[in-house]
């Protein structure tokens, strides 16, 4: 079915054109206040301005010229020139029956012109657990993908994981430490070092002392690990890597700790002026070389990115780590009910690595990439730095390494050329806005993007703690997504336990999960994505207000009615099957009905601006209207002439809530709670 606003829009715009001769949109909106009717057309006033006439008079003429009697009661002109519209009972009933007939899609049409849409979201990093910083991208992106999917577009999800770049070296180094800790020192020294560094962060002298010890041990272990030639690692590290695939599950938690250690060390070392021995290729063989300690991970990264036979072992280890990380992410996606599937939707930075040189050569040959201060840069128009100079989009560092700008260019080109994307939506936090502006500008300069293609950066703000500062654990660490979800589920479990203690344990656990995870997701969706928002378990798990539990509760109440029907000799299927007329006498019935027929519009609004909160706002209005209806209008005990209509309202409300929550937001509904 066509959207009601669209139907009215077309008819009224025609009338405006007929009367005034201008092509002005009718601007049909749901009425600001129910007392003005159901919808209002605001476009006449603008049209009147164009033809320089009195808006009210023009509105009267438009009303006289238009024929919408099959949809609305006779319209009224109000205020400076609003046209107020009230649906006829017959039309409203017909819409509800239309939704009833097409129960799967609730009567909502697919897009007339399906597009291929790439949605880039989530993007976790390798060798790290997902943390709260990944939550918003993951679920907002997922909602956008689901919306486009439902509308009949060809959606290609892309999980652009961080599996290349500096982490590469860090992970290998973490593995190395893990290996030495186990094989040589027989103790997880990295854990002790981690603690020591943490507790001496303020004490520079002590910190330096610790780092010197770490460096000395590191050097010693490195020099000790060779069989034939310098630094061949064939004595200790090599054999360890060879059997890594058989022990990866066991050592995984330790790898993460060692990785944390390497990360922290990387930060701390800056400015300490400590050096470390590593190797570099001489004429023909490896030679020792001393480099600044803080450069070590970058050095390893650079070596490994060169690849080749020398590094095959490490590359394989890398692959293992990557798959292991993705397993963890998949678990989270499963818990979050997110539609990303590995490996189908995974194309990370490493995927584009082979074509990065070509990206640079191509841009060079087009004269777009030029050398500046040793780095290859594109200078898109209109971007300046603090000194008013053209701002570079750096695609190759002076040491020859590539950056995320290069990878993003390669990925964009791939999505346009190979995936045939007509729309590419990037879901990342707002801090990257400048990067994407420049990325899009550079791609356009390169001629990769024609006018039919839309590139979109969907931004979002930060998650804050109760203190208004970035959301962290009590000790200041990042909050792991897994822990966050577990706590939400645990809290929800407590509520279920007090409210409904008699349910079977298994069912209580399922409810707790649906409510807990749903609450976390919903509270994020319900905020305007651009604002930073304050994370609060108490608020998101409240039964009052715009929350997942409130919505789930409304759904559960309807399901409860359905369960009770049999006991009261009501055959719902039979009553709905033959339904033809819908006498909606009670105000609460009508209010609910009028909201039900607006679901399509809510979806369209949410999609147009990639704003899930338009959808949650609608669902909340709907659930509220249902709760009022539920209080005011008995269903099962209603008079026989009223009951089928009420059963239909219940059924459509349940379907709409379930569709909105479960299909579009990925939030589970429950039969009981």
Partner RNA sequence: GCGCUCGUAGCUCAGCAGGAUAGAGCAUCGGUUUCCUAAACCGAAGGUCAGAGGUUCGAGUCCUCUCGGGCGCGCCA
Nearest approach in angstroms of CB 437 to RNA is 8
Residue 394 bridge partners (DSSP): 377
Cα separation, 659 vs 52, in Å, equals 47
DSSP codes joined into one string, 426-458: EE--GGGHHHHHHHHHHHHHTT---TT-EEEEE
**Residues present in the chain in total:** 673
Nearest approach in angstroms of CB 295 to RNA is 10
Among 389, 454, 473, 641, which residue interacts with RNA (rule: CB under 7 A)?
Answer: 389
Q: Please give the C-alpha separations between residue 544 and each of 153, 473, 548, 624, 627, in angstroms, as whole numbers.
A: 36, 27, 10, 10, 12
Nearest approach in angstroms of CB 408 to RNA is 8
Give which of 77, 84, 72, 108 is closest to 36, Cα–Cα: 84
Q: Closer CB to RNA, residue 298 or residue 415?
A: 298
467 contributes a contact to RNA by CB under 7 A = no
Per the listing, tokens 């577009």 go with 153
Computed on alpha carbons and rounded to an integer, the radius of gyration of the chain in Å comes to 31
Pick out residues in 272-301 that bind RNA (CB under 7 A): 298
54 contributes a contact to RNA by CB under 7 A = no
Q: Closer CB to RNA, residue 240 or residue 614?
A: 614
Q: Closer CB to RNA, residue 56 or residue 105?
A: 56
DSSP codes joined into one string, 511-537: HHHHHHHHHHHHHHHHS-TTS-EE--H
* Residue 384, helix vs strand vs coil: strand
612 contributes a contact to RNA by CB under 7 A = no
639 contributes a contact to RNA by CB under 7 A = no
Cα separation, 16 vs 12, in Å, equals 6
Q: Closer CB to RNA, residue 248 or residue 302?
A: 302
Looking at residue 369, what DSSP letter applies?
A: E
Cα separation, 256 vs 178, in Å, equals 10
458 contributes a contact to RNA by CB under 7 A = no
Nearest approach in angstroms of CB 115 to RNA is 19
Among 387, 450, 451, 569, which residue interacts with RNA (rule: CB under 7 A)?
Answer: 387
Count the residues of the shown chain that bind RNA, applying the rule CB under 7 A: 110
561 contributes a contact to RNA by CB under 7 A = yes
Among 20, 40, 305, 353, which residue interacts with RNA (rule: CB under 7 A)?
Answer: 40
Q: Closer CB to RNA, residue 248 or residue 534?
A: 534
Nearest approach in angstroms of CB 566 to RNA is 12
10 contributes a contact to RNA by CB under 7 A = no
Pick out residues in 578-607 that bind RNA (CB under 7 A): 602, 605
133 contributes a contact to RNA by CB under 7 A = no
Nearest approach in angstroms of CB 43 to RNA is 7
Among 50, 187, 204, 384, which residue interacts with RNA (rule: CB under 7 A)?
Answer: 384
Q: Closer CB to RNA, residue 298 or residue 659?
A: 298
Nearest approach in angstroms of CB 184 to RNA is 30
Q: Please give the C-alpha separations between residue 645 and each of 168, 288, 377, 579, 586, in angstroms, as whole numbers.
A: 62, 84, 66, 8, 11
Q: What share of the chain is helix, strand, coil (3-state, %, to 5)?
A: 55, 10, 35
Site string for RNA, 482-511 (x = CB under 7 A): -------------xx--xx-----------
Q: Please give the C-alpha separations between residue 407 and each of 94, 219, 352, 439, 440, in angstroms, as whole numbers.
A: 53, 34, 6, 10, 13
* Residue 370, helix vs strand vs coil: strand
Stretch that binds RNA, among 62-70, 419-427, 472-480, 626-634 (CB under 7 A): 626-634
Q: Closer CB to RNA, residue 223 or residue 433?
A: 433
Q: Closer CB to RNA, residue 76 or residue 191?
A: 76
531 contributes a contact to RNA by CB under 7 A = yes
Site string for RNA, 66-95 (x = CB under 7 A): ------------xxxxx-x-----------
Cα separation, 479 vs 532, in Å, equals 17
Q: Closer CB to RNA, residue 10 or residue 216?
A: 10
162 contributes a contact to RNA by CB under 7 A = yes
Q: Closer CB to RNA, residue 222 or residue 379?
A: 379
C-alpha torsion 587→593→596→597, nearest 10: -120
Among 155, 377, 441, 607, which residue interacts with RNA (rule: CB under 7 A)?
Answer: 377
42 contributes a contact to RNA by CB under 7 A = yes
Cα separation, 471 vs 479, in Å, equals 8
432 contributes a contact to RNA by CB under 7 A = yes
564 contributes a contact to RNA by CB under 7 A = yes
Q: Please give the C-alpha separations between residue 45 and each of 110, 116, 326, in angstroms, as whole numbers.
A: 33, 38, 56
C-alpha torsion 441→446→448→450, nearest 10: 70
Nearest approach in angstroms of CB 12 to RNA is 11
Cα separation, 196 vs 315, in Å, equals 32
Per the listing, tokens 């409130």 go with 550
Pick out residues in 402-421 that bind RNA (CB under 7 A): 403-405, 407
Stretch that binds RNA, among 114-122, 142-150, 219-227, 395-403 (CB under 7 A): 395-403
Cα separation, 631 vs 626, in Å, equals 8
């Amino acid at each position: 079915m066509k959207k009601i606003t669209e139907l009215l829009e077309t008819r009224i715009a025609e009338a405006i054109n007929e009367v005034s001769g201008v092509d002005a949109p009718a601007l049909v909106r749901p009425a600001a206040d129910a007392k003005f009717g159901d919808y209002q057309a605001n476009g006449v006033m603008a049209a009147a301005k164009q033809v320089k006439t009195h808006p009210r008079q023009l509105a009267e003429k438009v009303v006289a010229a238009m024929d919408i009697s099959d949809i609305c009661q006779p319209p009224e002109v109000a205020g400076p020139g609003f046209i107020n519209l009230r649906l006829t009972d017959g039309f409203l009933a017909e819409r509800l029956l239309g939704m009833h007939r097409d129960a799967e899609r609730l009567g909502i049409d697919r897009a007339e012109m399906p597009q291929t849409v790439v949605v880039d979201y989530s993007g976790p990093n390798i060798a790290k657990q997902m943390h709260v910083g990944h939550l918003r991208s993951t679920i907002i992106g997922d909602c956008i993908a689901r919306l486009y999917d439902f509308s009949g577009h060809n959606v290609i999800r892309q999980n652009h994981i961080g599996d290349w770049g500096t982490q590469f070296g860090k992970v290998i180094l973490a593995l190395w430490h893990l290996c030495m800790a186990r094989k040589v020192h027989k103790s997880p020294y990295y854990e002790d070092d981690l603690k020591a560094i943490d507790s001496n962060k303020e004490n520079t002298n002590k910190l330096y002392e610790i780092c010197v010890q770490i460096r000395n041990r590191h050097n010693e272990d490195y020099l000790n690990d060779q069989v034939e030639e310098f630094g061949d690692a064939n004595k200790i590290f090599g054999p360890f890597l060879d059997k890594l695939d058989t022990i990866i599950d066991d050592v995984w938690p330790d790898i993460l700790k060692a990785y944390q250690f390497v990360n922290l060390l990387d930060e701390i070392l800056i400015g300490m002026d400590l050096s470390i021995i590593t190797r570099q290729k001489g004429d023909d063989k490896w030679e020792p070389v001393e480099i600044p300690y803080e450069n070590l991970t970058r050095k390893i990264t650079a070596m490994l990115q060169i690849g080749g036979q020398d590094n095959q072992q490490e590359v394989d280890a890398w692959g293992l780590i990557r798959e292991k990380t993705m397993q963890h992410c998949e678990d989270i996606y499963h818990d979050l009910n997110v539609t990303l599937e590995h490996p189908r939707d995974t194309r990370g930075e490493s995927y584009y690595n082979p074509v990065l040189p070509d990206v640079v050569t191509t841009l060079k040959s087009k004269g777009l990439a030029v050398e500046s201060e040793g780095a290859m840069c594109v200078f898109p128009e209109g971007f300046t730095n603090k000194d008013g100079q053209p701002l570079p989009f750096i695609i190759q560092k002076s040491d020859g390494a590539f950056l995320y700008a290069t990878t993003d260019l390669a990925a964009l080109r791939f999505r346009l050329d190979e995936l045939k994307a007509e729309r590419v939506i990037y879901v990342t936090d707002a801090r990257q806005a400048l990067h994407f502006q420049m990325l899009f500008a550079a791609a356009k300069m390169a001629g990769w993007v024609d006018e039919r293609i839309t590139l979109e950066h969907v931004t979002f703000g930060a998650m804050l703690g109760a203190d208004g500062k970035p959301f962290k654990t009590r000790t200041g660490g990042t909050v792991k997504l897994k822990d966050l979800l577990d706590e939400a589920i645990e809290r929800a479990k407590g509520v279920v336990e007090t409210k409904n203690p008699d349910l079977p344990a298994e069912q209580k656990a399922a409810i707790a999960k649906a409510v807990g995870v749903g609450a976390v997701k919903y509270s994020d969706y319900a905020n305007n994505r651009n604002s930073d928002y304050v994370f609060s378990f108490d608020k998101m798990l409240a039964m009052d207000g715009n929350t997942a539990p409130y919505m789930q509760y409304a759904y559960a109440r309807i399901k409860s009615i359905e369960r009770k029907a049999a006991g009261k000799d009501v055959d719902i299927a039979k009553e709905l099957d033959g339904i033809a007329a819908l006498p909606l006498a009670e105000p609460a019935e009508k209010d609910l009905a009028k909201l039900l027929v607006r679901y399509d519009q809510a979806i369209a609004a949410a999609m147009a601006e990639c704003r899930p909160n338009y959808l949650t706002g609608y669902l909340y209005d709907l659930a509220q209207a249902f709760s009022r209806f539920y209080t005011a209008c008995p269903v099962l005990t209603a008079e026989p002439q009223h009951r089928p209509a009420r059963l239909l309202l219940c059924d459509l409300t349940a379907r709409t809530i379930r569709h909105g929550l479960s299909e579009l937001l990925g939030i589970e509904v429950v039969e009981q709670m």
